[in-house]
Structure formats: C-alpha cells, structure tokens
Amino acid sequence: MSPRAPAASWVYRGIWSVLTGWFRVPTKPPSLPADAGGRQAEHFQPARAFLRYLKMWFWVTIVIIDLIVLVGLGVAVAELWSNGFAWLAMPLAVLTLIVLAVPHVLFYLAVHLRYDTTHYVMSDRSLRIRRGIWSIEETTITFENVQNLRVSQGPIQRLFGIADLRVETAGGGGGSSSGGGHGTSHRGVIEGVTNAVALRDRILPHLRQSASAGLGDDDGDGTRFSPAHLAVLREIEGVLRRLG
C-alpha cells in the first residue's frame, strides 16, 4: 500500500479491510503461469510518483470546486444578512462546509484506492492488468498478439518522472477482459511507471519473433488465389494474347 503517516495508515487499513470485505476485492495480486524456464512472472504497481500525480489533480480539482462553492456561499450569506436573516446565515455556512467536506474525504480515499488496487503482472509471454474496487477489470494480453506499443507522457507526467505504456493488440483476440467488463479488450495501459521505455523494449523482441514466424505473410507456394480464380485469370490472359 501507499506510504502514509502512522495514524492515517491505521485508519486507511481499517477502511481498506471493510471495503475489500464488502466488495470481495482480491487482496492478493493477480498471477501468471511460470515460463518454460521456471521463472516466475514479475509483479509490480505504479510508481509512488503516480500517487503524487493523482493527488496533485485531486487538489487542483478540490481548490476549483471549493472556490466556486465559497463564492456562492458568501453571496448567499451576504443576502441573508442584508435581508434580516442573520440567524440563518451561520447555520447555512456550517452546513455547507460539512456537506462539502464529505466528498473531499471520499474522493481522497478513492485516489488511494485507485493506486492500491492497480496491479501489473508480466511474464516472458503475456501481461495481466487488474484495477478497480467497485468494478474490477482484469485484462490479459499475450505478447504474440501485440500489434503496437506506444509510450505516452504528458508535460505534467514529465514533472513527476512517470509515463504510460499503451499495449495494443490485433482486433481478433489479443486480449481478454474479466471482472467488471464484458467482451474482448484490445488495449492495455500500464500507467504511472518510471520505466515505460524499458518495459516497451522488453516486449518488443516478442513482436519481432511473431513477425519472423510468418504471421500475415504469404504461405510460400505462390497460390494466394483459389483454383477458380486462377482459371479466370488464365482465360483473361488468353484473351489478351489473342487481342495482341
């Protein structure tokens, strides 16, 4: 779990235990079979800088919302005060601040929960991604089906030293999704890591092996067309020769 002060950590562990029990969230990370050499798959989570990145956006959003609410509250209190309802102004202000504080706490917890429930497992053959607590999404991607790898890093991400690796597969079953989602997933995102380029370079050799195996290439006998097509082409060739 992400680092916190001792008191906050104790409270968060209690909330974590309750939520994982209620929503039956797996407490252990996902797994993948060992490769042919017996090496176990590598488990990792987003970098701690990703948690700071999420918190930064949390505080930016909170400040904007609070400013809007406080300006509106100030106008309402001034109107009540000027119209002789001063006795109502203070309870309204207190109630508004209490109501405003509850979403702050919930969204702050959601930021930590998003971080702590994001898991990546990578072997020499495949990648598994799991995230979520309300709706759990687990995606498995086989490297031999990967069509494109793309590292993306926005300007704010560069300040935190993190990036995302987007793994895109062919449309016919490069990845499978289970848990909260339905159908087939054709993209997996490893977000908030400091070694996105290294992860990309680790997967690239598997793409090259698939390409060298002849995926999508000619079968080598020169007969891409059916016998019926070849017969029609021969007839056309004969007509052209007679015309020539």
- Print pLDDT tens along the chain (244 aa): 555 556 566 666 777 677 777 777 777 888 887 766 677 888 999 999 999 999 999 999 999 998 998 898 888 888 888 887 878 888 888 888 888 888 888 888 889 888 988 999 998 888 999 998 888 899 999 888 888 899 999 999 999 999 999 998 875 444 555 554 444 447 899 999 999 999 999 888 877 665 554 444 444 444 455 566 666 777 787 777 777 6
Q: Which two tokens stand for residue 85?
A: 């309802």
Query: Is the sign of the CA dihedral 107, 111, 117, 120 positive or negative?
Result: positive
Structural domain spans, the chain: 27-46+119-215, 47-117
- Predicted TM-score of the model (pTM): 0.70
Alpha carbons 12 and 29: distance in angstroms, whole number = 19
